[in-house]
Amino acid sequence: MAKPVIGVLALQGAVEPHRKHIEAAGGEFRAVKTPGQFEDVDAFILPGGESTTMLKLIETFDLWDSLKKQFAEKPVWGICAGSILIAENVTSPAQKSFGLLPVTVQRNAYGRQLQSSHAVINGYDISLIRAPVIAKVANDVTVKAEHEGKPVWVEKGRYMATTFHPELTLDYPSPMHREFVNLVQNYKKKAA
């Protein structure tokens, strides 16, 4: 079967660091930023960065409708800022989102930049950078990992979110990339 093509939304944030993880997990990396490029991928990663800036760029380049349509058909993994963009509810402050995952995220809830930290999640070193806290999850959301008693890795169907950055660790692939590439592969099989 052809390698699943994973498009990393390349408007702002940590895009390139995903390349080696995706390749090591058996996928093909693509940086995407136009509706034509969105159509050519099997799944999306919304990377970490600054969600407010990403939203502004999505609006400036008029990408909302095209992304919304793509997300209704394909797997999506939101990382940190990306998890904020795909959450159903966003607080502190409230902000527009695609609402793919029935979770509530509270922005910057671990503190400011200086409080960014490292942690070990499922045996893998990760960074939390001005991460949101997942304050609430619906019953049908699977919590795959917690940190300090709060969910940090959640999944429902073909949507996944992590509030931390596994792509910044140089040990390939991260368990989260492996999980996502598998999820995309299984989804492609079902859809075929």
Please say which residue, 4 or 134, places its beta carbon nearer to ligand GLN: 134
Q: Which of 108, 117, 169, 182 binds ligand GLN (CB under 6 A)?
A: 108
Nearest to 137 by CA among 174, 173, 88: 88
* Partners of 90 in beta bridges: 105
DSSP state of 32: E
Choosing from 80, 147, 155, 179, the catalytic residue is 80
Structure tokens at 159: 């949507």
Query: What part of residues 112-131 is at the interface with ligand GLN (CB under 6 A)?
Result: 129-130
In the complex, what is the shortest distance from the CB of residue 187 to ligand GLN, in angstroms, rounded to a whole number?
25
Dist. CA 55–CA 95, nearest whole Å: 9
Span 42-81, contacts to ligand GLN by CB under 6 A: 48-51, 80-81
Binding mask 135-174 for ligand GLN (x = CB under 6 A): ----------------------------------------
What CA–CA distance (Å, rounded) separates 25 from 114?
A: 32
Give the residue with the Cβ less far from ligand GLN, 46 or 183. Answer: 46
Burial 94-120 (b: 16+ CB within 10 A, else e): ebebbebbbbbbbbebbeeeeeeeeee
Residue 44 CB, nearest approach to ligand GLN (Å): 16
- Smallest gap from residue 7 Cβ to ligand GLN (A): 18
Q: Which two tokens stand for residue 149?
A: 């008693």
Residues contacting ligand GLN: total by CB under 6 A = 11
146 catalytic, yes or no?
A: no
Beta partners for residue 89, in sequence order? 104
Is residue 18 within the footprint of ligand GLN (CB under 6 A)? no
- Whether 177 is a known active-site residue: answer no
Residue number with CB closer to ligand GLN (4 or 54): 54
Q: Which residues of 143-162 are buried (b: 16+ CB within 10 A; e: fewer)?
A: ebbebeebbbbbbbebbbbb
> Residues with catalytic annotation?
80, 165, 167
Question: Which residues of this chain interact with ligand GLN, rule CB under 6 A?
Answer: 48-51, 80-81, 84, 107-108, 129-130
